Amino acid sequence: MTSQSAPTTVLLDVAAGVATITLNRPEAMNSLDNATKVQLLGALREVADDSAVRCVVITGSGRAFCTGQDLKEHVSLLESGGSDALFTTVDEHYNPIVTAIAEMDKPVVAAVNGVAAGAGASIAMACDLRVVAEGAGFNLAFAGVALSCDTGASIHLPQLVGRAKAMELLYFPRTVPAQEALELGLATAVVPVEDFETEIDALAARLAAGPTVAFGAMRRSVAFAAHHGFAEALAFESEQMTRTGSTHDHRAAVEAFVAKQRPQYEGR
């Protein structure tokens, strides 16, 4: 996933069907320099293609989830005349990262252990569920550095909180604390710090034991419906029903229902 000379700033652990991707730059609040963006994209593509992975968790090490673009690297590029890299990184890194999250056929959970700011907030919003530790929060920090939003924020933020609130949060960046994030719809759940890892493990295990193909079809159907007309969305739903109806898990679930037993899913 990275060359021998480069530090490992993204950790990947796969166990019991759950892939945990951990941003590992705690000294930099898990901000995203180019090396980290490359490693993160590689990890996301790896778990997307791994049939043994049935749920993905994205989290951060230390005090932060992810504070977005590494501004120290950003300033260095500005001062060295490398401004082209500042703008190509959206197409080369940020867009592929959020696309990898959005398009994989398995559930993705953001374990927001600390502040999620800028592109870090965007990454969390691209996930299906956001479990937030008490004391953590979200900050749409782009306007604070006179930049537009990226990494899918213009898509996912209005979907979660509505257009009016999205514009407010973008125009006037502030850290939205965990409880307010829950009320707005940015957070799925807020968990005490001491229970955070246990709650994440239980949720990930539950998703990994579920009907993976059906979960993937649900993700695709919801995303498709957000950007297409009614008739097209219904047609896509029909395609996904046909697809999931031919799976082993569907047959197993029906047989278990008839036998009044709990189905055992294999993710296929």
> What pLDDT, in 10s, does the model give residues 14-31?
999 999 999 999 999 999
Question: What tokens does 259 get?
Answer: 């036998």
CB atoms under 10 Å from CB of 80, counted, come to: 9
The length of the chain, given as a count of residues: 268
List pLDDT tens digits, range 150-187.
999 999 999 999 999 999 999 999 999 999 999 999 99
Mean pLDDT of 257-263: 90
Helix (H, G, I), strand (E, B) or coil at 132: strand
Angle between helix 248-258 and 230-245 (nearest 10) = 80
Question: What tokens does 170 get?
Answer: 């973008």
Give the per-residue pLDDT at 188. Answer: 98
Distance between the two ends of the chain, CA-based, in angstroms? 27
Q: Which long-range contacts (CB under 8 A, 24 or more apart) does 247-256 make?
A: 247/211, 247/213, 247/214, 249/211, 249/212, 249/213, 249/214, 250/211, 250/214, 253/211
CA angle, corner 33, sides to 27 and 38, nearest 5?
A: 120
The DSSP bridge partners found for residue 55 are 18
Residue 11 backbone dihedrals phi, psi, to 5 degrees: -100, 140
Confidence label for 75 from pLDDT (cuts 50, 70 and 90) = low
Could you tell me the pTM of the whole model? 0.92
Q: Are 59 and 22 in contact (CB under 8 A)?
A: yes
d(CA 183, CA 121): 16
Alpha helices by DSSP H, the chain: 34-49, 71-79, 83-89, 95-103, 119-126, 153-161, 163-171, 178-184, 196-208, 212-225, 230-245, 248-258
Give the per-residue pLDDT at 7. Answer: 77
